[in-house]
Amino acid sequence: MANKLWSAVQRGTYNGATAYTVGDFVTYNGSSYTCILNSTGNLPTNATYWALVSSKGDTGATGATGATGATGATGATGPAGTSFTWRGAYDNGTAYSPRDNVSYNGSSYICILASTGNLPTNATYWELLAQKGTDGSGTGDVVGPASATDNAVARFDSTTGKLIQNSAVTIADTTGDITGGAYNKVTITAPATSATLTIANGKTLTASNTITLAGTDGTTMTFPTTTATIARTDAGQTFTGVNTFTSPKIITDISDTNGNELIKFTATGSAVNEITVTNSATGNAPVISATGGDTNIDLKLDPKGSGKVVPDASVNFGAFTAYFTETDNGNSGTADTIDWTLSNKQKSTLTGNCTFTFTAPPGPCNLILKLVQDATGSRTVTWPAAVKWSGGTAPTLTTTASKIDIISFYYDGTNYYGQSALNFTA
């Protein structure tokens, strides 16, 4: 740097956003620096871009206190303070706006983001203003009756919280047995290992509404080895939510909501094979599978008497699909697409000189196309390149109005080998 020519430019106090060039002088934290490499955003203490010219000196001794200056002019009035709205006890159904104040569990909170249904303990929507203090240790002025039943559970009388009265519910001293009639709700709190609700032999637990088994641990209802039933005598049973039945035994059938048989079961004592039903996601079909101990298992459908197995539309045999309905493509116009994946029997009414496009079926199969001349007639057809004819020449279609030609194809997975039967009358 000894031979470098410095063009000293005084740039004042260093600014991180200013572009400095070699030779610029700045002050920073009481010292002076000169730029030795063009720089933007690099502090003067970075020796790659700056060289120290003079360091800040030591702080001098404190000078004598000067005379008190004259009182300055009165400053401008400050902005108005922020107002707050006291909304009372927090209500889960109320819509709160910023700066609304509420009380919750003894503490007070301020709303900082518009909120409905978010507890004041949610720091996204609320800030704590004042924390609830520690409960006092003083004694109250609860008053009881002149006499009471031994072991009776005391209950509050009226709503003051100061009067208690006798009750018909008692708790035994030694056994902890609870007696005294019906209960709206009984909660069993588990100790460290387990908790059990025991119903003595010959006794009945009756619930007028709902019995709920809840919690994060596994919940088990265990029945004795003798007959046990969960049932309503007046209607069917409804299970909602996620219900797991470990190897349930269905005796004979499953009935519908009217009590009519829906599915019947016949047991085989030495059975090793069964069916498995698998559901599916969107775009896929559910599956009924033969499963079990054997390596190769047929899946048999057995009609009753002279009945038949009747597919509703089509049956897919792997790469081949058999259809049982005719797909009517309507009027052809001058271009018509025959989608052989929909059916292997198709119809097209020729309403113009038509160029056909074929959508291939899933595998080799026989196909039939019924062509119907419209009331005008004389319509012609241009076939896809994959269509092959005996002798290499396409048949001449019937051109008479309203006549029908039947075109048959054998599709081998690539080409359509065609033949015709012509001039049918509707």
In order, the DSSP letters of 344-396 are SEEEEEE-SSEEEEEEPPSSSEEEEEEEEE-SS----EE--TTEEEGGG----
Pair 393, 381: CB distance under 8 Å: no
Q: Is the pLDDT of residue 410 over 90?
A: yes
Pair 331, 351: CB distance under 8 Å: yes
Return d(Cα 187, Cα 152) in angstroms, integer.
19
Q: Higher confidence at residue 399 or residue 62?
A: 399
pLDDT score at 3: 45
Overall fold of domain 85-130:
Seminal Fluid Protein  PDC-109 (Domain B) (2.10.10)
pLDDT score at 10: 80
Mean pLDDT of the region 53-78 = 84
Q: What is the mean pLDDT of the chain?
A: 82
Give the CA-trace dihedral at 294, 295, 301, 302, to 10 degrees.
Answer: -50
pLDDT score at 129: 87
Pair 360, 344: CB distance under 8 Å: no
Going along 131-187, which residue ranges are E strands? 155-156, 164-165, 170-171, 178-179
Smallest CA-to-CA distance from 354 within 371, 376, 375 is with: 371
Superfamily designation of domain 9-54 = Carbohydrate-binding module superfamily 5/12 (2.10.10.20)
Mean pLDDT of the region 377-382 = 95
pLDDT score at 94: 94
Q: Is the pLDDT of residue 320 over 90?
A: no
Q: What is the CA radius of gyration of the chain?
A: 46
**% of the chain at pLDDT higher than 90:** 39
Half-sphere exposure of 233 (CA within 13 A, CB side): 0
Per-domain residue ranges for the chain? Answer: 9-54, 85-130, 320-425
Least confident span in 25-39, 196-210, 332-346: 196-210
pLDDT score at 366: 93
- Per-residue pLDDT band at 323 (split at 50, 70, 90): low
- Per-residue pLDDT band at 197 (split at 50, 70, 90): low
pLDDT score at 308: 74
pLDDT digits (tens, 9 = 90+) for 238-292: 666 666 666 666 667 788 878 788 888 888 889 899 899 999 999 888 988 999 8
pLDDT digits (tens, 9 = 90+) for 182-195: 555 556 555 556 56
pLDDT score at 6: 45
Smallest CA-to-CA distance from 368 within 312, 409, 309, 332 is with: 409
Q: Is the pLDDT of residue 319 over 60?
A: no
Mean pLDDT of the region 42-61 = 88
pLDDT score at 108: 94
For 381, the token pair is 């057809």
Q: Higher confidence at residue 331 or residue 135?
A: 331
- Per-residue pLDDT band at 165 (split at 50, 70, 90): confident
pLDDT score at 189: 59
User: Does 9-54 match 85-130 in CATH topology?
Assistant: yes
Token look-up 């081998």 returns: 412
